[in-house]
Amino acid sequence: MTSPGKPFPLGAHPEAGGVRFAVASTVAEAVEVCLVDERDGVRTERRVELTERTFGVWHGVIPGVTSGQRYGFRVHGPYRPADGPRCNPAKLLVDPYARRVSGTLSTVDTMLDYKGDNPFQGTSSDVDSLPDVPLSVVTAPGGTGTGIKPDTPFEETVIYELHVRGFTMRHPDVPPEQRGTYLGLAHPSVIDYLVRLGVTAVELMPVHAIADEPPLLRTGRRNYWGYSTLAFHAPHPGYASVPGNEVEEFRTMVAALHAAGLEVIMDVVFNHTCEGDAFGPSLSLRGLDAGAYYLLDDGSTVDWTGCGNTLDPASPSVVRLVTDSLRYFAGELGVDGFRFDLATVLGRTRDGFDPASPLLTAITTDPVLASAKLIAEPWDATADGYRLGEFGPQWTEWNGRFRDTARDFWRGATGVRDLAYRLSGSEDVFARTARRPWASINFVTAHDGFTLRDLVSYVDKHNDANGEDNRDGTDDNRADNLGVEGDTSDEEIRARRATQARALLATVLLSTGTPMLVAGDERWRTQGGNNNPYCLDDETSWLDWESTVDSEAMLSFARKVIALRAHSPALRQPAFFDGRPTRSGEPDLVWFSPAGEPMTDADWFDDGRRCLSMWIDGSESLSRTRDGELVSDDSWLIVLHAGTEPIEITLPEARYGEAFLPELDTVTPDGVPAEVDPVPPRARVTLPPRSLRVYRVRTTT
């Protein structure tokens, strides 16, 4: 016999002598907990009704239940899809607060809550989904610790985006049974690689428990990327080396990364779920209380995400679900920050985007989440959803303008005016909302799009392997193949591609802001021109750890530039440049033309210009030690030349430095300049086509 228990916290929680279950549904007339057992591949269940209802939460303590028990919910109530409610007790529902999920979704038809082809014209289905649905699992709290959070200042952060499975599937040092898992990422060889690379944070592509969408299941494909969440409190079971051990392995991974000084950032998908549009399966939220979780229009799900449905960011049920999930991962599982997929959705209402929306406000005012790194992808699948620079002061944002400007500049398609804004922290985008330059997450590649190698090897996408007749993926690649589409044996073209790729990589790492790299770019990884391999769980998406001359050269270059940034406070300043005079007697930032003279208005508005020099004063970099002391640095001159022909430039006069020491050159494979002797002021030097050079500036100050 059940006892009442308490309505909060939601989910399944072991208590003395049993487990307390609590699930929210304002439309249900009755809710049953179904305790599931399995023998010889056949599932059986014991149904126990939750008789207590408080604040719209059904709850009760079932005695005799222990951790490891698999369960689901059956919801009785109205079935009126056109009005919102879709209660159907034939569908066993996954607990949205389950901390573990067992099993995968392999079929769609038994999950549909309606008969016929249309939920708005037919009646509710009486097909029991018990044999096929993934199951929730009662999970005890606690476990191994996750270590001390590194708490790396944003201005010192270098983010490395990776896929838990794809990163180690081919790693030779990782035991076969751990490849593609949380423990694979925790392997000493893998962590040593990350530390030696110099990144400070790993950004994990989605690791919430996922389920493949109907179009993929019906064509025998799967959602490899994972932007298809089923349960927001459960680590994805497919990334566990031992089935059922995903929570503990996740903790072990976080602890190992923390011990190495690396932060863990989760890519979270709170804009939509795996249930798809109104014709999709009833797996969890839809059957519990569709109107409380989804934006609906006459029963149909509003689609601002391109995935068929949109969670309602103004709903108390959604606000509670999201913040509870974030607190769990940030608290009990030790996660340091979150990257919010299609974050504009979280602030949108039917009247437009509101940075003070209920959900965004709840996240930034939560005492646990206030200290977490919060990264917004500031767009969604609609034209009205592009909101770069409009999030609140506690948010950082993926800077799509940085990506587009850098790509356009290095392929010779634009001048230098917008480039200067991006190099110096995108003050025009972020200062108006009282933010620092590190609010700009600078990148030229991400999981979504070409790799760095493909960006200089292909113009068009080549996505036929995805099974969508090459219709998927963006057509706006802003890429340059340097004359040949795809791989080539032409050594001249290969060399030019590598030079241009190094220039792109250096631009990301040396610009003011927070740089983000995508895993494998530093190893010269290719996807064969596929810019959207979201469904390819194979060598197309997995990182190749085999060493080649090209991969080792690019890796050496990446390490050198990351180290240069780490040891040079002036190159990662925490405040915007403002022309203030410094101890050197010069402004904190000066832009130069190829003639070695400060840029004029006419220079800035000359769209034919392809060369720009950036002089950064290091005597007052505004960077501080961990104790709050200001630190000084050398001054720097960064020269970027995107023209197709060599250019002779004149270095600045002596007031900006008594000698210019070559520090980095993207023409050489490892970035080490061919000439390392100091160069005097006003000297004339030649830059090869599409190259970047960095000088350390020696001054008398």
Catalytic center residues? 341, 377
Whether 100 contacts 139, CB under 8 Å: yes
Dist CA 669 CA 173 (whole Å): 27
- CA dist 212 and 229 (Å) reads 9
Q: Is the peptide bond before 9 cis (omega within 30 degrees of 0)?
A: yes
- Distance (Å, whole) CA 33 – CA 72: 6
For residue 67, the 8-state DSSP code is: T
Q: Which helix (H) or strand (E) is 327 found in, with range?
A: helix 316-331
Q: Which residue shows structure tokens 């270059």?
A: 557
Q: How far apart are CA 633 and CA 614, in angstroms?
A: 16
To which residue do tokens 């179009």 refer? Answer: 215
Residues 6 or more apart whose CB falls under 8 angstroms from that of 599 comprise 591, 592, 593, 612
Residue 280: burial class (beta carbons within 10 Å; 0-12, 13-18, 19+): buried
Dihedral of alpha carbons 125, 130, 133, 137, sign: positive
Q: What is the helix, strand, coil percentage profile of the chain, to 5? A: 25, 25, 50
Q: Are 611 and 642 in contact (CB under 8 A)?
A: yes
Distances (CA, A) of 627 to 619, 623, 624: 19, 11, 7
Report the 3 state secondary structure along 562-586. Answer: HHHHHCCHHHHCCCCCCCCECCCCC
d(CA 617, CA 621): 7
Closest CA to 377 of 343, 401, 406: 343
Q: How far apart are CA 244 and CA 237, in angstroms?
A: 7
Concatenating the DSSP letter of every residue in 372-393 gives: SEEEE----SSGGG--TT-S-T
Burial class (CB in 10 A: 0-12, 13-18, 19+), 107: middle
Cβ–Cβ under 8 Å, residues 313 and 340: no
Q: Shortest CA distance to 439 belongs to which of 398, 387, 482, 499?
A: 398
Read off the tokens for 171. Answer: 């790693």
